[in-house]
Amino acid sequence: MRVGIVFHKNPFAPPTGIDLVRLRAISSGLIKKGVQAEIIAPIGEPGTVADLIPVKPLSYLERPCRYDIVKTCYHDSVLLINGYTGPVVSRIVRVVDNRLPERDQPFRDKLLACQDIIKHRASILILNNEHNRERWTMLYGKEPPVALVPTGCPAEVPLPGKNPYDGNSEIMLFLGSLAAPRMVDMINAAARALRNICEIHLVGLNKICMYGGDPRCSLDPLIVNHGERSESEIWDYVRHANIGLALATGPHAFDNDMSKIVNYLRGGLPVLSEEPIVNNDLIAETGFGRIFTYGDVGDLASKASEILKLSLDANKDAVTRFVAREHSWDKRVDVYMDLFRTFV
């Protein structure tokens, strides 16, 4: 089976964001299953990432019979497959309409155009959750068929390293991107409300300028900003924190699928998460954290205090084993394998 995985950005960049982490995890997982998988991207020369995954220029899509199937990764990826005429498996993170999500206003026309192409070109559409499947069906009907492949986490994580935090304070970690203006407002308010309880540390980027946010809207000085870190480093930030924080982008569940929750739990970190986030079912299932009311900083602070008083260490190993077993990238690759076999 020959699968081309079309990615619209530089696949050789360090894997600090979930987009590259997912790309490499799914690609390498397919290769380990015996699939001849290649990443196809807007690059000049062929190469290899992670010492395993071939990367080819877009021109390879025009080579006859090179790929049995092409998989696209995000909205923009579908714009790159013009030279390919075979089956297409398209994945997008969220379904956009003429109004929602509001934070996507700067890119709305382009995202809607991509969805129209997917509607007419894709053989199967991959979505993360049922909320987005319902939206797609409401907007576009039952074609193409939709399959759900949620986000995942590593089955194995790097061995523990040193504690990356200074001092003796309790640590609340926010891992990943601040991708909506209200997220910056919330994390700043949380830092002020919790200043006598714990420190908030950010490992990731403030991306609100991409989503119509005021570039002057910066992080409160109380927040310790570590910026982006490599995938291997991230696990020590998770291991040595006391709480993992998940903030919603807005009030709509379909726009709140948060991979960070899976990774917090995989690292044995209790989660404090905001109500509209769809992955909160994992917190309820494991009992490893608390969920706070949307936009309520007082409830956030109260639930943070609860978590810090809980004795959760006895459950940590069971939680990490459960998440590694049921929500690993390997499990997600198995779903893709079943889908791909319908074309080959």
pLDDT tens digits, 217-255: 689 999 999 999 998 999 999 999 999 999 999 999 999
| pLDDT of the residue at 218 | 87
User: What is the helix (H) or strand (E) element at residue 175, kind and residue range?
Assistant: strand 171-175
Report the chain's terminal Cα–Cα distance, integer Å: 7
Spatial CB neighbours of 3, under 8 Å, sequence gap ≥ 6 = 30, 35, 36, 37, 38, 67, 68, 69, 70, 71, 340
For range 267-293, the mean pLDDT: 97
Largest distance between two CA atoms of the chain: 64
Task: Identify the band that residue 214 occupies on the pLDDT scale cut at 50, 70 and 90.
Answer: low
pLDDT tens-place string over residues 115-151: 999 999 999 999 999 999 999 999 999 999 999 999 9
- Rounded to whole angstroms, what are the CA distances from 51 to 12, 31, 48, 54, 295? 11, 12, 6, 9, 44
Query: What rounded mean pLDDT belongs to the chain?
Result: 95
Residue 14 has pLDDT above 90, yes or no: no
DSSP code of residue 195:
T
d(CA 90, CA 80): 12
Residue 277 has pLDDT above 90, yes or no: yes
Burial of 315 (0-12, 13-18, 19+ CB in 10 A): middle
Task: Identify the band that residue 83 occupies on the pLDDT scale cut at 50, 70 and 90.
Answer: confident
Span of 87-101, 188-202, 204-218, 297-311 with lowest mean pLDDT: 204-218
Task: Identify the band that residue 209 occupies on the pLDDT scale cut at 50, 70 and 90.
Answer: low
Instruction: Work out the percent of the chain whose per-residue pLDDT is above 70.
Output: 97
d(CA 140, CA 118): 10
| pLDDT of the residue at 211 | 67
Which of 93, 105, 91, 94 is closest to 210 using CA atoms?
A: 105
- Could you tell me the domains of the chain? 2-152+328-341 (3.40.50.2000), 171-326 (3.40.50.2000)
Q: How does 116-155 read in b/e, with b if 16+ C-beta sit within 10 Å? A: ebbbeebbbbbbbbebbbebbeeebeeebebbebbbbbbb
Residue 102 has pLDDT above 70, yes or no: yes
d(CA 71, CA 238): 31
d(CA 159, CA 307): 26
Q: Which amino acid is present at 115?
A: Q
Angle at which helices 259-266 and 313-326 cross, to 10°? 120
pLDDT tens-place string over residues 148-191: 999 999 999 999 999 999 988 999 999 999 999 999 999 999 99
Which of 100, 71, 66, 103 is closest to 88 using CA atoms?
A: 71
pLDDT tens-place string over residues 20-73: 999 999 999 999 999 999 999 999 999 999 889 999 999 999 999 999 999 999
- Bridge partner list, 4: 38, 70
Task: Identify the band that residue 15 occupies on the pLDDT scale cut at 50, 70 and 90.
Answer: confident
Angle at which helices 329-341 and 18-32 cross, to 10°? 60
